Amino acid sequence: MRFKELKETMLIPDREIMLNRLVSINDADVLLISITSENGRHKLWTLRQIPDWVYEENPDYQPEENRTHRQRMQGALQDKVVFGDQEDSISKMIIQGQLMTFGTSQSTFCTEQDHEAHMKLQHFVEKGMELASFADVSVDRLFLTFYEQDASGPFPDLDLEKELDITLKFNSTSRTVAVHTEPIVLELGDATNEIKHSFYDPVTKQNRFFSIKALKRDDVWAQAEANFAKPAPQSSTEEEWQQFKEQYLGGLELACPKHQDLAVVEYESEDDLRLQFYSKDYLDTKPKFMTHADTAGKLLFSVFYSSESRPDAKGVKLRTTAIGLVDKTFDGSLVVELVHYDMELPEKTIKL
């Protein structure tokens, strides 16, 4: 960093209101530090701690390149627990009856190498930030977050002689919840006997039920080639359509080679929950090297199999999820595991 750039990394607000209010968000202590205005940008600043167990030595640790799909998923779900799911993100704050709506947010870990984060912490300490909540926490186990107000919103005009009554609002969203069941053996085709399965839900602390209706195969290549056999859409030139086709099929070849089909499970779940199953073969293998085309192909798959519920012939709501790949000659059984489900979370309000 050049000396003339130092000022750009510092926090030098035109206006600032210290809050110093501690709030519990999803069982984690979060300190609302202050509201700042700098160069017309208004921000709410918060501080929280990374849980100690994150730093515990993991005897099963594997380098990224050696990790299976299962290990990567477990790591991703742990990260959400540590750093917060979407519902941790503050969407609005009402303070003394005045509304601040936040459009973006950004978090910074206060590591020794991050001098910018340390300078911001120093600024808040000098302004009188309450230290007791995290006094004995190592600085490199803290992370600082700001929520930036939408550009059209005014900086709040507060009466500092009165109580700073605060209400926080969180948008409705979904949360991915890791679960565990015993492996299930499925035969290709419709299920001949409807067997109810269950899993323990750590959120509701009760058993939830589901039944699998069928294990099917899907020839996604036949579908893709049929779609591209149609004329180019009016919104695209022939050249743009051909370029999109090449990119799509390139990603598809990496995500699902031509000699394979997509294995798909149809299921019914209590409360119409979105469940995510995977084949044991898929979970125990290492992913391919992810190129941009590979990432695009997998993204298209996740969009295509969005698990929207639809009624079957009897009016029962069914959902569909892709669980892995099978050879086109496959005709037998697969071992399937339930890995997680999506919980819909309503809007949430916390009054301090």
| Contact call for residues 102 and 44 (beta carbons, < 8 A) | yes
**157 within domain boundaries:** yes
Ranges under pLDDT 70 in the chain: 52-65, 78-88, 192-193, 288-316
**Same domain for 181 and 166?**
no
**Same domain for 129 and 196?**
no
| Contact call for residues 134 and 142 (beta carbons, < 8 A) | yes
How confident is the model at residue 293, as a pLDDT? 44
How confident is the model at residue 55, as a pLDDT? 59
**Same domain for 333 and 238?**
yes
Judged by DSSP in three states, 244 sits in helix
Q: Which of 148, 171, 194 is the last residue of a domain?
A: 171
**Same domain for 167 and 20?**
yes
- Which residue range is the domain that position 241 belongs to? 177-344
Cα–Cα distance measured from residue 347 to residue 344, given in angstroms and rounded to the nearest whole number: 10
CB count in 10 Å sphere of residue 55: 11
Cα–Cα distance measured from residue 212 to residue 199, given in angstroms and rounded to the nearest whole number: 13
Q: At residue 293, what are phi and psi to the nearest 5 degrees?
A: -65, -40
* pLDDT tens per residue across span 196-246: 899 999 888 999 999 999 999 989 899 888 888 888 888 888 899 899 888
pTM over 0.85: no
Stretch (H or E) spanning 22:
strand 15-25
Give me the number of domains the chain comprises: 2
How confident is the model at residue 307, as a pLDDT? 56
**Same domain for 45 and 194?**
no
How confident is the model at residue 300, as a pLDDT? 45
**Same domain for 62 and 95?**
yes
98-109, strands of its sheet edge to edge? 15-25, 28-38, 41-49, 142-149, 98-109, 92-95, 166-170, 348-351
